[in-house]
Amino acid sequence: MTDQLAIAVRGLRKSYAGQPAVDGLDLEVRRGEVFALLGPNGAGKTTTVEILEGFRHRDAGEVSVLGVDPARPDSSWRARVGLVLQGTGEFDELTVREVVHHFAAFYPTPDDPEKVIDRVGLAGKADARTHALSGGQKRRLDVALGIIGQPELLFLDEPTTGFDPEARREFWELIRDLAAGGTTIVLTTHYLDEAETLADRVGVIAGGRLVQVATPATLGDRDNAMATVSWRTPDGTVQQVESDTPTAVVAELAARLRADGGDGEIPGLTVTRPTLEDVYLRMIGHR
């Protein structure tokens, strides 16, 4: 397990009451990358991530996170790993500012709490009591608490659930910023656009195993997939052909229309390749 890896997992297994939830999983996450874990409900993502975070015991396998076995963490390791879980909890009467300052005191080299509040877009709510925050604002506070210790590795569990579209875009910017600063990020998400826009690589977990790891552009051989060219014929019906040379198909169609006296414009022309969602759904057996 080299220094280039933030996470190295071999043969990870975990069963609940004899039922395997993680069933011989291998995983490598490089330092500095954004890695998205995808998979259907019950695939074993949370179990895997909680083992990596040191919150769950494993039955078997080797696990190294920042060079440490999370089953035997020390306090310096804890401070190097940031967590954004699904709902950190309630802080009742405390304000956003108080909570972030309070958490900063747990870490040896915390970031500036005011800067972090601003970074997650809560500057206007710094003096609001946390119970009065909206769902999306609470999630932003969760993110602030995950990054206040300036972690080397940040786990984000479905981070943008409940965010409005603008908040998602702002959050994505924040993640890109953290990644540009060298933070390794492991994110679980059910939003394929989120994985596509943020991740250097995605790993698909199904049935407790990692079934594929690839860049979003190449998952499921997507970049080599046939393109579908579709257009409208003069009688209004839609025609479609699949081709691995769609440009040639379009050129031929345009030439044919020009030969028929047209201006070469192809009505209703679209050229599409499978989306990340298409290949993902095929991979997990839904198409």
Ligand X SMILES: Nc1ncnc2c1ncn2[C@@H]1O[C@H](COP(=O)(O)OP(=O)(O)OP(=O)(O)O)[C@@H](O)[C@H]1O
Interaction site with ligand X (CB under 6 A): 16, 21, 39, 41-47
Rounded Cα–Cα distance for residues 27 and 6 (Å): 11
Minimal distance in Å, beta carbon 153 to ligand X?
19
Cβ–Cβ under 8 Å, residues 34 and 175: yes
Cβ–Cβ under 8 Å, residues 143 and 100: no
Minimal distance in Å, beta carbon 198 to ligand X?
18
In the complex with ligand X, which residue's Cβ is closer, 46 or 137?
Answer: 46
Strands 227-232 and 270-272: antiparallel
Which residues is 68 bridged to in the sheet? 65
In the complex with ligand X, which residue's Cβ is closer, 45 or 80?
Answer: 45
Minimal distance in Å, beta carbon 269 to ligand X?
38
In the complex with ligand X, which residue's Cβ is closer, 31 or 56?
Answer: 56
Minimal distance in Å, beta carbon 284 to ligand X?
11
The candidate with the shortest Cα–Cα distance to 79, out of 111, 119, 106, is: 106
CA distances to 104, 187, 275 from 217, rounded to whole Å, are 38, 18, 9
Q: What does the longest C-alpha to C-alpha distance in the chain come to?
A: 77
Minimal distance in Å, beta carbon 56 to ligand X?
8
3-state SS class at 4: coil
Phi-psi region of 33 (alpha: psi -120 to 50; beta: other; left: phi over 0): beta
Rounded Cα–Cα distance for residues 64 and 8 (Å): 5
3-state SS class at 251: helix
In the complex with ligand X, which residue's Cβ is closer, 36 or 148?
Answer: 36
Minimal distance in Å, beta carbon 189 to ligand X?
10
Minimal distance in Å, beta carbon 41 to ligand X?
3
* Sheet with strand 19-30: strands edge to edge: 19-30, 5-16, 60-65
CA distances to 107, 169, 194, 199, 204 from 219, rounded to whole Å, are 38, 23, 15, 12, 9
Minimal distance in Å, beta carbon 48 to ligand X?
7
Q: Work out the angle between the directed axes of helices 165-180 and 135-147 (0-180°, nearest 10).
A: 10
Cβ–Cβ under 8 Å, residues 87 and 142: yes
In the complex with ligand X, which residue's Cβ is closer, 17 or 180?
Answer: 17
